[in-house]
Amino acid sequence: MKVITALLQASSDPAQGKHAGAFHWLLHLGAPGVFGVALVDATIIPLAIPGSTDLLLLWFIAHGANPFLYVACGVAGSLVGGYTTWRLGKKGGEAAIDRYVPQRLQKRVQGWSQKHSILAVMLPAVLPPPIPLWPFLLAAGALGATWRRFLLAFGAGRAIRYALVGWLAVRYGRHMVHLWAKVLNRWSAPILWTFVILTVAGLVYSIWKTKRANRRSRRGTSFQPSHGD
């Protein structure tokens, strides 16, 4: 209700009318939208804008949303998405690292995950982009981290990060929105459409890449000679 009230108030303000109109659909996403974006953000599916969950939290809370509810939704979504990534690594083993993690990151991710299993999950969950997240979540499952330790470390890291974002939104959010209002009024529609198009394109590319990797894996297995040959 607070989000809708803020939208109506912004719509009645001539200086913010276009701003509110352009972000009308975004405000209607609400807490489920934060949950969904946070979920995707913790998977191998690339988002158009790194740190999208942080941006949504800043926007919603700065416009009057309940910070405790929205931070909790962000953490919960991250846990669900992170668990699916951990599960993918658990199921695929080290072969999953070779398949999904870029080659330039594989040695670094494996080394950190083997030497500092808790920190390798918790620190990427706290630190902002360009620190990668999902490769460490995948490696945690592939290298044997239990789901309890994984969820504890990842949940703690995400709670710290999103709580900090929530505090910044409460403390400085409205001031930042006011400063950027003129810029957003002019460019909000192109930014939003670009965000949507790139997110959809990233999702399609990720699904295509995953299917291609699975086909190659099955093809390679089918060509392996049996022990009786």
pLDDT digits (tens, 9 = 90+) for 125-148: 999 888 899 999 999 999 999 999
**Residue 160 falls within a domain, yes or no?**
yes
8-state DSSP, 45: S
Range of the domain at 98: 2-222
Give the count of domains, the chain. Answer: 1
Residues contacting residue 120 through CB under 8 Å, at least 6 positions apart: 109, 112, 113, 136, 139, 140
**Residue 70 falls within a domain, yes or no?**
yes
Q: Which of 31-40, 168-177, 196-205 has the lowest mean pLDDT?
A: 196-205
pLDDT at 63: 79
pLDDT in tens, 151-172: 999 999 999 999 999 998 888 8
pLDDT at 201: 73
**Residue 123 falls within a domain, yes or no?**
yes
**Residue 228 falls within a domain, yes or no?**
no
**Residue 190 falls within a domain, yes or no?**
yes
**Residue 229 falls within a domain, yes or no?**
no
Is the pLDDT assigned to residue 77 strictly greater than 70?
yes
Of 27, 31, 51, nearest to 40 (Cα)? 51
pLDDT at 18: 38
**Residue 22 falls within a domain, yes or no?**
yes
Q: How far apart are CA 183 and CA 191, in angstroms?
A: 11
**Residue 227 falls within a domain, yes or no?**
no
Q: What is the pLDDT averaged over residues 179-208?
A: 64
The sign one gets for the Cα dihedral 153, 159, 165, 168 is negative
pLDDT at 120: 94
